[in-house]
Amino acid sequence: MLVSAVLIGVCVVIMLGVPIAVALGLVAIGTMVATVGPDLLVIFIQRTYAGTTSFPLLAIPFFVLAGNLMNVGGTTERIFQVAQLCMGRVRGGLAHVNVIGSVIFAGMSGSAVADAAGMGVIEHRAMTKAGYTSRFAATITAVSSTIGPIIPPSIPFVIYGSLANVSVGALFLAGIVPGLLMAASLMAVIALVAKRMDLPRGEGLPPLTVVRGILLRAMPALLLPPTILIVILTGIATPTEAAVVAAGYAFVLGRFVYRELAWSDTLAVIWDSARQTAQVMFIIALAAPFGWVLVQQQIPNAVLASLLTLSSEPWVILLVINLALLLFGMFIEGIAIMIIAYPVLLPVITQIGVDPVHFGVILVLNIMIGLVTPPVGLCLYVMAGIARISIAEITREIWPYVLALVGVLLLITFVPAISLWLPQSLGYGVAR
């Protein structure tokens, strides 16, 4: 009874429009008072403070800052130009360019919303200018932005690693192949749609001198993703320290290399990044006492027992978990799902022998799909605002691409090696 009351209660409060952090805090306080009494509220304060003191969480503000600096400092424009060189005269070329651009930008920002808001403006403008409908351009930009937090660096991986005490470096490595599979699946659907809709072809390669100029101007930006991975894998820096490197590198690019980042822009970016970070950290802070309540009331054990009554087969339990996460993703914001799900589901996946790193990829990909499924898909709202169209228009167009992403989700769920072989082969934080 208590299990249902707590889990249903927090979902209902969130869907009523109460801010996520406040909803988690209210349910935690209510459960503490109802089960033990007001004397337990001192633990609420202690847990709230402790929830924000994890060192890996310091990566969040710096990755947010890096993404915002690149959007303002001209880096995203040059990434898009490089992506355009990759497709030649392919039918639906700019749609493929959209996906490739998201893959490149994913290695820099770690945020789907930053991709949609930054690259999205450039991509949508270029596609509509080339003859694509505004609805189609917005749809492709929204679904391609989901690649951002899967290919490292990734803000959701940082949060999950901190909450679940899992190696962030291993999570970063585990996301590379699934992220590329997401891109490949989206491009496969685009190729089918391009033929059916007779989409415009790409413009083809410009003269060699122009190609060389584009690559030379973009080279400093393209060096950032491998730089982040190299400093982490070689032990030069932790993922948190690498986030600082990324932010500093993005500032130098925008201010001194591309010279598109004015000092006034820098102050505005810092303020915007601080605001975005505060929103995330407020949720994480109040999620800590909520997670403590779940464990203290043995709710994870009750959920585990319920799932095991359905089946003892790991694949059945994983399928049920995926269906539940996809359903929640349609109504609840991604970070809230992660914070609610990890203390409940981590004991479950440990019991059935699923590696926590593998589960981290499954969880984050579920959350990314939630960003492009109505009625609460955040990336849909971002692109609807940029394209000045309704959510309903994008929703009608988006389902083939969502199904492609669900196909990738099922593939990585039931073939763990797709996520785990790279961190295993490098001996990085995953048990063989």
Q: What is the DSSP string of 164-215?
A: HT--HHHHHHHTHHHHHHHHHHHHHHHHHHHHHHTPPBP-----HHHHHHHH
What is the chain's mean pLDDT, rounded?
A: 84
pLDDT in tens, 45-99: 888 888 788 777 888 888 888 888 887 888 888 888 888 887 766 888 889 988 9
pLDDT of residue 44: 87
For the stretch 281-321, pLDDT in tens is 888 888 788 878 877 777 766 776 777 777 778 899 999 99
Helices and strands (H and E) in the chain: how many: 22, 0
CA dihedral sign of residues 332, 179, 357, 302: positive
* pLDDT tens figures, 378-409: 788 888 888 888 888 888 899 999 999 999 99
Does 426 score more than 50 pLDDT? yes
Interval 197-207: pLDDT, tens: 888 776 667 78
Q: Are 142 and 373 in contact (CB under 8 A)?
A: no
Q: Strand pairing partners for 201?
A: 91
Stretch 130-143: mean pLDDT: 91
Q: Where are the domains of the chain?
A: 2-425
Report pLDDT for 3: 64
Q: pTM score, two decimals?
A: 0.84
Looking at residue 109, what is its pLDDT?
66
Bigger pLDDT: 106 vs 393: 393
Residue 129: predicted pLDDT: 84
